[in-house]
Chains A and B, each alone.
Chain A
Amino acid sequence: MDASQDPFGPARHGALPRHVPVLVIGAGFAGIGAAAVLGRAGYDVLVLERADGIGGTWRDNRYPGCACDVPSALYSFSFAPSPRATTGTGGGWSRRFAAQPEILAYLDGVVRRLGLGRSIRCGVEVLAAAWDEAALVWRVTTDAGTLTADVLISACGALSEPAPPQVPGLDAFGGPVLHTARWTPGTDLTGLRVAVVGTGASAVQVVPELARRAAELVVLQRTPPWILPRHDRPLPRGRARAPRLARAWAYTRQELLEPALVHRPELLAVAERHALAHLRRQVPDPGLRALLTPGYRLGCKRVLLSDDYYPALVRDTVELVPSALARLEPGAVVSADGARRAVDAVVLATGFRVSDPPIAHRVQGRDGVLLADAWRPTGMQALRGTTVTGFPNLFLLTGPNTGSAHTSMVHVIESQLRYVRDALDVMRERDVVAIEPTAAAQRAWTEDVRRRMRSTVWATGGCESWYADGEGRLTALWPGSSVRLRLRTRRLDVREYRAVRR
């Protein structure tokens, strides 16, 4: 079926309205969740998506092996805990950790089942948004025209903009250079010599797949990750009958990790022994194992789950180069320790721009201040991870210090959406046109977050990770349990805000 004629899918044509009450940027988990939650609460929502389909992260990341790292029972909306509720096909999640196609199909099912298609416009990119202090609206410029919005919600995601390595020669390589998040479907690397740069979450998933297909595979590793057994398995169909029970169980298990990560990193030594035993079982050669043994506390960088990454590295056709990428030459990669390997294709599994999100360069608050400039001296910060002083009626989903290292980001998004809905309710009840957090409230919140951050493994574990920005400030993660975040974003505290009445 031609997608453009799909009556229940997201719209792709037609003029934009001149004004919308609530404008959401991005149609991934956060944007779809916003359309569902705020739409049900009676708000008129328009979601603008620059790509020509929904799904966000799960549309962009199409590399072979892509799957989620949190049990699917939990990595799903609480109001639609299993695909059964959305696609009507019967079964629940097919595996404990669903693969990318299933998650994308799930999101598509959510959009159709809840009738969100008419709230979503695909193929429209927001180029700029500026707060009009006189009219008390956001003036939004898109590549399909301009419109105004009372409330602007950024649902762009923290992991959306690829971060290619800053090395010379990316253009001079002369063969395919692919970022995992910009994988061209149908790319076939079978029989080629391939280099994978990076050993993070995407690399650990793509390496086993490439190792099966490529003639030779070179994996460039700057720092070894900690890897725990994944225990992925197909789920029995019966499991779909109690999705909420499965969800509660998965939630509880994930949440048990939090005290160690945040308050007592030394307890993580137990998990380290577990991970080292996993490494020992899967890598018999002590030399390779020495290169794969991390020298920092487990949890400091993202903990990965894999049962097939280490076995892939053991294959005769796979070589681990324990060094960063120094440069690309025509037909070869060169590592920082001087090794040069001739390859036909390069896969960049180098992650995302987390601490300097592109959307911050497109949003101007009061007095024309760019969000990126407002953040530059202090690092990213937002009251309760969601609102920013100087930027009235702007809400950031997956905003500063809301990231979760131990549990589902969908849970975090739903916490934030409750907060946004409560904010909109308060504005409607009290006849308020615009709200903006006070500088004092935002400062107090940020100080509290950074004080809590001090005991965490991300601050003390002895590593460099994407959790920290260029200045070493930990602006990505929430230093606490997901319960705590949900409680702290349960209601809008009007004392923290400045309001403008009509």
Chain B
Amino acid sequence: MTAVPADFRPPTPARRLTVTSPDGARIAVQVHEPAGDPDAPTAVLVHGWTLSANFWVRVVHRLAGQVRMVVYDQRGHGRSGPVPDGGFTAAALADDLAAVLAATVPGDRTAVVTGHSMGGMALVAFAGRYPDALHRQVRAALLASTGLEQLLGRMTVVPWVGRRPANAPDDAASGPVRLALTRRALGDARALHLMPLRLARATLVRVAMSRTATPQERAYAADLMLACPQRTYEGFARALAELDLAGDLPRLDVPTRVLVGTADRLTPPWHARRMAAALPCPAGLVQVAGAGHLTPLTAPDAVAAAVLDLARRDREARPDQWVPRTHG
């Protein structure tokens, strides 16, 4: 018998809808309403590359009944439609987020937007493209396990080759050999699909997760990533390799908290520290000890606590009051 733990079973959304992005991409959105609390704050959860709305399952379970949640599949992922030609850009992801906010956050309401990895990039790009919507609809933001620039150069996914000296910091920039290998390793879904399934799963888990991940978390994450269509995988891999959104970060001028796992190989803490330092309205940096890249899956308590904290704070409070007292 094979009981699946309750918090890996996606709860039924109260409502499902399909939102159409300006370039025609269909975005599948789910809305979870807390029963009997029409005034509950709204949280929008934006997942990352190769994942889907179900990635948030453990966070959704923890926030259920306390906040209203809007969760959607990014273009090309999950139940959303395929990416139109030329649609593999951060700007398009920002358009998707704007369309989802317009459809799910009514005029008199605001939301806490949480972006994980490529979802965080979508959020920063949104801040750059839609400053009015940002001020009107976003009360606070959480950037979880994400980065905005030098993504390939800071990754530590390739073992051994071109490793830095032992005394260098964990996330120093890679040399040219290592950079080329990282680009090759990340950009090619074909190799992943040609591998024996067991090896493909092990590879994905090693790259995206840390040693502290449980077998259940590993299996769930590997399946999520393997379910991603090859075209989506490769299209966004190319976009991420060249991404630079550091210029948009100063425009994210709502209280913003940054969260990162200390053992993240894909977006090492270097990014988190850099973003936290550059944010116009910083609301704390949470470092989750030992966690890998998939923090909403492996550290759902920390992520849910951060969302809840941001959702419940008074918007008018001074920025320094947004900083959490303890770092996780």
Interface residues of A (CB under 8 A from B): 272, 276, 280, 284-291, 293-297, 316, 319, 321-323, 335, 337-340, 462
Contact = CB atoms under 8 A, between A and B. Distances in A.
Nearest to B8: A290
Contacts of B12: 321-323, 335, 337-339
B14 interface: yes
B10 A287 contact: yes
Given A293-B4, A296-B1, A287 B57 contact: yes
Nearest to B229: A284
B227 A294 contact: no
A322 B220 CA distance: 19
A438 B226 CA distance: 64
Interface string B214-243: 000001100110110000000000000000
B54 interface: yes
B1 A462 contact: yes
A462 B1 CA distance: 10
Given A284-B223, A285-B223, A316-B28, A295 B10 contact: no
A322 B54 contact: no
B2 A286 contact: no
B22 interface: no
A316 B2 contact: no
Q: How large is the interface on B (under 10, 10 to 19, 20 to 34, 35 or more residues)?
A: 20 to 34
Contact of B54 (A288, A294, A319, A339): A288
Q: Which 3 A-B pairs have the closest CB atoms?
A: A287-B54, A284-B227, A286-B223
Contacts of A323: 12
9 contacts: A285-B52, A291-B10, A293-B4, A295-B1, A295-B4, A297-B1, A316-B28, A339-B13, A462-B1
Contacts of A297: 1
Contact of B219 (A286, A295, A322): A286
Nearest to A319: B16
Contacts of B247: none
B9 interface: yes
Given A284-B223, A289-B223, A322-B9, A272 B2 contact: yes
A119 B219 CA distance: 62
B12 to A, nearest CB: 4
Contacts of B84: none
Interface string B7-27: 011111111100000000000
Contacts of B14: 338-340
Contacts of A287: 8-10, 52, 54, 57, 224
A320 to B, nearest CB: 9
B188 to A, nearest CB: 20
A289 B3 CA distance: 12
B165 to A, nearest CB: 40
A285 B54 contact: yes
B35 interface: yes
A462 B13 CA distance: 28
